[in-house]
Amino acid sequence: MRRLYFLAPHINSAKAIFHDLLLARVDDHHVHVVSKDESELIKENLPAATLFEKSDLVPAFERGLVIGFASGLVLSFIGVVMTPFDVQLGGASILGITLFGAFFGAWVSSMIGISLHNSHLKGFENAIAKGEYLFIVDVPKSRMPEITKLMKRHHPEAGNEGSDPTVPAFP
pLDDT digit string (tens) for 83-128?
Answer: 765 566 677 888 888 999 999 999 999 999 888 888 778 888 888 8
Percent of the chain with pLDDT over 90: 27
- In this structure, the strands spanning 159-164 and 2-8 are antiparallel
- 114: Cβ–Cβ under 8 A, 6 or more apart, which residues? 51, 55, 56, 57, 60
Domain ranges of the chain: 2-55+120-164, 57-113
pLDDT given for residue 90 in this prediction: 72
Question: 136 forms bridges with which residues in the sheet?
Answer: 5, 32
pLDDT given for residue 86 in this prediction: 56
Q: Please, what is the average pLDDT of the chain?
A: 85
CATH ID of 2-55+120-164, from 1.20.1740, 3.30.70, 2.40.50, 3.30.2010:
3.30.70
pLDDT digit string (tens) for 52-90?
Answer: 888 888 889 999 999 999 999 999 888 777 776 556 667
- In order of 4, 5, 38, 56, 117, the CA distances from 144 in angstroms are 8, 11, 27, 24, 26
What number is the average pLDDT over the span 127-154?
Answer: 88
Is the pTM higher than 0.75? The answer reads no
Whether residue 170 is predicted with pLDDT greater than 50 in this model: the reply is: no
